[in-house]
Amino acid sequence: MQFDADAFKASTMEQWNAVANQWNRWGPLLDTWLGPATETLLDMCLVESGSNVLHVAGGSGQDALQSAARVGPTGRVVSTDISEELTTLAASNFEAAGLAHASAEVMDGERPETGKHQYDAVISRVGLIYFPDQIGSVRKQMAALKPGGRVGALVYATPQECRFFSDPVTVIRKHAGLPPPAPGVPGPFSLGQPGVIEDVFEQAGLSDIQSRKIEAPVMLESAKECLRFEQESFGALHQMLSDLDESAKEAAWSEVESALGQFEKNGRFTGPCVMIAASGVYAA
């Protein structure tokens, strides 16, 4: 079957609208899990006091909150997402934090329309992996940058390095009778193999490309809690199971919990995860 990019994007938007509130409620976990890697990425993109920063696929704004803390009131942070529900939550989170210099807009991260040469950095945290046209998206992000500005992306490494997520996906694919993803199709591990994100950045026209692997284990009380996180927050997993009846779905989720159980030791769950932080410079 030929990949339908428009249908994929529409489905992705529906999935995130459906789980937006749950994703936002897991904000404290997102901060402990992805927060340190995000700080590394912001360092690589030279985000500092007074910077103007655009976040694409910014979700409910957790990574933009980290940018806003850095840039301060003399800077500007704009968080964008294709999901209206997530964008509304991001705006609420900025207002609750008293951040007048942070705002949220509904926008397709694959085609950000922001005006040209306004930003010092464009950041994507676990977003670029889901764009059908990844190279085209990076080029659009570059157009939003001031000369010398930086594009930055945080992506999952290989499935073998991110088993908190890849093991459940493998189980669900088996129960649903789904084949492995075809090469070139967007998805969680589409940019995780060695050299892939760097190649995307190079083809898009970025220079001074850098990348770093960062250990980012998912730490929770139990495998059952990780199961709940994934059930509540990752709408794609439910879509993969959508053709199964309730009994078959329960069997799949039960096996997912068993698979996650191997990472629960001494009363704690530590799910293996490695992220790649990559950056490149727009040299106009």
How many residues are present in the chain?
A: 284
Question: Is there a contact between 157 and 211 (Cβ–Cβ < 8 Å)?
Answer: no
Instruction: Report the CATH fold assignment for 5-159+186-218+272-281.
Output: Rossmann fold (3.40.50)
Buried b (16+ CB within 10 A) or exposed e, 91-110: bebbeeeebeebbbbebbbb
Give the number of other CB atoms < 10 A from CB of residue 222: 16
Q: What is the pLDDT of residue 104?
A: 98
Q: For residue 230, which of 265, 260, 251 has the smallest C-alpha distance?
A: 260
DSSP state of 181: P
Question: Is there a contact between 247 and 7 (Cβ–Cβ < 8 Å)?
Answer: no
Q: Is the pTM of this model over 0.85?
A: yes
CA end-to-end span of the chain: 40
Give the number of other CB atoms < 10 A from CB of residue 251: 14
Measured in whole angstroms, how far is the alpha carbon of residue 212 from the centre of its chain?
16
DSSP state of 243: T
Q: Which amino acid is at 131?
A: F
Torsion on CA atoms 65, 68, 70, 76, rounded to nearest 10 = 160
Q: What is the pLDDT of residue 238?
A: 84
Per-residue pLDDT tens over the stretch 74-127: 999 999 999 999 999 999 999 999 999 999 999 998 888 887 889 999 999 999
Give the number of other CB atoms < 10 A from CB of residue 177: 8
> Taking the domains of the chain in order of start, what are their residue ranges?
5-159+186-218+272-281
Q: What is the pLDDT of residue 1?
A: 63
Q: Which amino acid is at 47?
A: V
**Bridge-partner residues for 153, per DSSP?**
124, 278
**Bridge-partner residues for 268, per DSSP?**
265
| Structure tokens, 271 | 């799910």
**Bridge-partner residues for 276, per DSSP?**
155, 213
Q: Which amino acid is at 261?
A: G
| Structure tokens, 37 | 């890697």
* Residue ranges in the chain whose pLDDT is less than 70: 1
Q: What is the pLDDT of residue 184?
A: 84
* Angstrom distance (rounded) from CA 142 to CA 64: 18
- Indicate the SS3 state at residue 45: coil
**Bridge-partner residues for 55, per DSSP?**
79, 123
